[in-house]
Amino acid sequence: MPDATSPAVTPDMPKRADFPAGFIFGAATAAYQIEGHAFGGAGPCHWDSFAATGRNVVGNEDGARACEHYTRWPEDLDLLRDGGFDAYRFSTSWARVMPDGVQVNPEGLDFYDRLVDGMIARGLAPYLTLYHWDLPSALADRGGWANRETAERFADYAAAVMARIGDRVARTATINEPWCVSWLSHFEGHHAPGLRDIRATARAMHHIQLAHGLALQKLRAAGHRDLGIVLNFSEVLPAHPGAGTAVDLSDALSNRWFIDSITRGTYPQVALDGLGPHMPQDWQADMALISAPLDWLGVNYYTRALVSHDAGAPWPCIRNHQGPLPKTQMGWEIYPDGLRNLLVRMARDYVGTLPLVVTENGMAWDDAVQDGQVADPMRQAYVAAHLNATRHAISEGANVQGFFYWSLLDNYEWAFGYEKRFGLVHVDFETMQRTPKASYHMLKAAVS
Ligand code: GCO
């Protein structure tokens, strides 16, 4: 059996010295996935009801208990400090801070205040995400992201959080993965609110971008700095020669819709060909706000997409294919070149020298504790390969300033419940015991 604590398992693992001075190594989590939504007076959010609806989530599991981070956070922050990390990417829960979506729950803000102080005390730079999907049910009842009002309420919430902790956070992202918030949740129905409705999709795809723009405007007016957004990208490739228009349309719907609007104030025409008739009135008037300058861009990357045109299917006529590469527990192909290519593409085509941060990258595996240790050589190799891909992107001119592994802890993997383990640290969901995996020890040896 490999020695699970040995840092030498993966020979090509880069070291801190292989990155530019000041490069930030971190790990990421999100509120609903770890905190335990039942604690501390949080209001119901749309993931609670999505999970309570049969067949949406494996085992009907929800985030009520999750990793009990709400009470165990000092131990979790110790793990980050002891692992030699520079920063921690976390999110604040809208439904915890504003249980009805509007009125502040002081207990919620107090929690994040303590958490941020806990990071500072341990020498960890706080990287805040304001929306990682826990929409208060009271706003979901009024149409959620299909309703423009939700974007306006989000800006109020963002301002309330930043008024309390904005003085101590290093960088702030408004929204995490608007593609998941809109397309995955309203067109494909895989995430809350689980809709399959093109009108709701078009509205959500615009209103989530608008929420970013309105929050940015409000936070800038209040004097906050280091503001950005986190987008998820996948490199879209043809499944076979002659895959037709599917590559361009899939790239437009999953990548360009979001980065084009944020940096250029436009939506790709091929996407509008389908969504245009369902867009909210006068959406064009919002584009200047949506494309206001950013201070940094977060890039989440996991895998590539292989697609072809499916003439027999309804719009968007895209068929996804299984690829030949080794896969993670999610069934996602391991393709580190995609990260390098995307970072280079962002710098070359979109943001120039604006700071880029890899805000999520990681893999799930069916990890188990044996003799108090967790051997995860697949993850060690994955991390090494993606850190090397990041180095290559930097050498090709991308101004990448940090890398956050997803995730610090095994946690609530949305529609997959607690079955998919992404953590550097194993969590026993009965006892809540945390056990650092070999990949944690490897990263620690590399960055300490
Ligand atoms: C994401 C998600 C995470 C997921 C991770 C793995 O931002 O996509 O924020 O919440 O757990 O991506 O699927």
Is 11 inside a domain boundary? no
Distance in Å, CA 27 to ligand 1 centroid: 13
Q: What is the total count of domains within the chain? A: 1
What pLDDT was estimated at residue 170? 99
Q: And the tokens for 275?
A: 């969504």
Is 122 inside a domain boundary? yes
Per the listing, tokens 């840092």 go with 7
The domain in which residue 374 lies consists of: 16-447
> What atom of ligand 1 comes closest to residue 30's alpha carbon?
10
Distance in Å, CA 97 to ligand 1 centroid: 21
Distance in Å, CA 325 to ligand 1 centroid: 21
Alpha carbon 268 to chain centroid, angstroms: 23
Hey, whose CA ends up nearest to atom 11 of ligand 1? 413
Is 2 inside a domain boundary? no
For ligand 1, pick from 233, 406, 416 the residue to mutate: most ligand atoms within 8 Å of CB. Answer: 406
Residues 137, 139, 140: CA angle, nearest 5 degrees? 60
| CATH at residue 93 | 3.20.20.80
For ligand 1, pick from 180, 300, 360 the residue to mutate: most ligand atoms within 8 Å of CB. Answer: 360
What pLDDT was estimated at residue 5? 47
Residues tagged active-site: 177, 360
Hey, whose CA ends up nearest to atom 1 of ligand 1? 177
Is 6 inside a domain boundary? no
- Is 35:69 a contact under the CB 8 Å cutoff? yes
In the chain, which residues have pLDDT < 50? 1-8
Is 420 inside a domain boundary? yes
User: Strand, helix or coil at 107?
Assistant: helix
What residue ranges line ligand 1, CB within 6 angstroms?
30, 33, 176-177, 180, 232, 300, 360, 406, 413, 422
Quote the pTM value. Answer: 0.97
Distance in Å, CA 343 to ligand 1 centroid: 19
Q: Using one digit for the tens of pLDDT, what is the confidence trace for 294-335?
A: 999 999 999 999 999 999 999 999 999 999 999 999 999 999
- Is 158:130 a contact under the CB 8 Å cutoff? yes
Q: And the tokens for 302?
A: 């996991």
Is 312 inside a domain boundary? yes
Is 5 inside a domain boundary? no
Is 10 inside a domain boundary? no
The residue type found at 79 is L
Distance in Å, CA 232 to ligand 1 centroid: 9
Residues with Cβ < 8 Å from 245, sequence gap 6 or more? Answer: 270, 309, 317
